[in-house]
């Protein structure tokens, strides 16, 4: 955009030097600043936050590779969380009495939280916690996204269209909708190689003799 503005003002274009590494470095947020300003290296925290929030992570649930992400920041959210899970004795432990103490004892807390989530389906636990005002969401698989997510289904992100073999497949539209020209997906992708003749003859300008020679040589096998 800056180059376009410069062109509109001066009539002269510019080369744009864009480094992938530099672009990604700009997204690293406070990590370089922590080193330059405070002399500290930031360590990896996994699913946890460096400052605050416990429990904060992804917890195993019933089923094969099913997980639920849960975040609790405030004492009010913690009280709601404990009520949802039935207020077992460990929730009254002094180690978990405040947000700071919960963060300091996050390892033990995670084990206890997972002792509850393991007995729940990810979907059931999510609805129970969300209903109580606790941030929780299923860690979705590709199947969850394509078939089970109610928000995406309501938004009609996927249309089920027949592929080249006639099998209905979920086909994803563009992730945006324009108010006047929303657009849509009208057909699935063609079978592999379906447009080969068109590309070679119409796009690349190859004649029948050249195509025949390539076929004999096995170029299309």
In a domain, 144, yes or no: no
> 94: domain range?
56-139
In a domain, 49, yes or no: no
Instruction: Say how many domains are in the chain.
Output: 3
Q: Same domain, yes or no, for 61 and 132?
A: yes
Q: Same domain, yes or no, for 32 and 60?
A: no
Instruction: State the pLDDT confidence band at 9, using cuts at 50, 70 and 90.
Output: very high
Residue 221 reports pLDDT greater than 90: no
Instruction: Quote the pLDDT of residue 65.
Output: 95
Q: Same domain, yes or no, for 33 and 60?
A: no
Q: Same domain, yes or no, for 71 and 133?
A: yes
Token pair 């849960």 in the structure block, residue: 70
Instruction: State the pLDDT confidence band at 147, using cuts at 50, 70 and 90.
Output: confident
Question: What span, in angstroms and rounded, lies between the C-alpha atoms of 53 and 73?
Answer: 4
Specify the pTM. 0.71
Token pair 């080369």 in the structure block, residue: 15
Residue 52 reports pLDDT greater than 80: no
In a domain, 118, yes or no: yes
- Average of pLDDT values for 114-119? 98
Instruction: State the pLDDT confidence band at 24, using cuts at 50, 70 and 90.
Output: confident
Among 121, 139, 157, residue at a domain's last position? 139
Chain centre to alpha carbon of residue 58: 14
Instruction: Quote the pLDDT of residue 33.
Output: 84
Question: What span, in angstroms and rounded, lies between the C-alpha atoms of 20 and 194?
Answer: 35
Question: What span, in angstroms and rounded, lies between the C-alpha atoms of 51 and 57?
Answer: 14
In a domain, 145, yes or no: no
Phi-psi region at 193: left, alpha or beta (left = phi > 0; alpha = psi -120 to 50) = left
Please tell me what DSSP assigns to residue 109: H
Question: What span, in angstroms and rounded, lies between the C-alpha atoms of 167 and 161?
Answer: 8
Instruction: Quote the pLDDT of residue 90.
Output: 96
Instruction: Quote the pLDDT of residue 136.
Output: 98
Most confident of 68-72, 153-157, 163-167: 68-72
Residue 51 reports pLDDT greater than 80: no
Q: Same domain, yes or no, for 25 and 67?
A: no
In a domain, 120, yes or no: yes
In a domain, 93, yes or no: yes
Q: Same domain, yes or no, for 16 and 61?
A: no
- SS3 category, 127: helix
Residue-wise pLDDT for 59-112, tens only, equals 999 999 999 999 999 999 999 999 999 999 999 999 999 999 999 999 999 999
In a domain, 45, yes or no: no
Peptide bond into 55 cis (omega under 30): yes
Q: Same domain, yes or no, for 75 and 23?
A: no
């Amino acid at each position: 955009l800056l180059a376009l503005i410069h062109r509109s003002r001066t009539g002269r274009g510019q080369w744009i030097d864009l480094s992938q590494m530099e672009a990604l470095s700009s997204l690293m947020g406070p990590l370089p600043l922590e080193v330059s300003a405070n002399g500290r290296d930031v360590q990896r925290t996994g699913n946890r936050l460096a400052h605050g929030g416990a429990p904060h992570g992804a917890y195993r649930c019933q089923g094969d590779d099913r997980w639920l992400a849960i975040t609790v920041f405030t004492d009010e959210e913690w009280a709601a969380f404990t009520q949802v899970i039935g207020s077992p004795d460990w929730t009254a432990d002094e180690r978990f009495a405040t947000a700071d103490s919960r963060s300091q004892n996050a390892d033990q807390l995670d084990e206890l939280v997972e002792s509850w989530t393991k007995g729940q389906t990810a979907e059931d636990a999510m609805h129970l916690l969300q209903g109580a005002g606790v941030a929780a969401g299923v860690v979705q698989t590709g199947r969850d996204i394509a078939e089970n997510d109610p928000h995406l289904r309501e938004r009609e992100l996927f249309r089920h269209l027949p592929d080249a073999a006639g099998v209905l497949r979920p086909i994803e539209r563009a992730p945006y909708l324009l108010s006047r020209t929303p657009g849509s997906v009208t057909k699935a992708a063609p079978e592999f190689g379906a447009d080969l003749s068109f590309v070679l003859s119409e796009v690349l300008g190859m004649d029948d003799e050249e195509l025949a020679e390539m076929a004999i040589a096995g170029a299309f096998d």
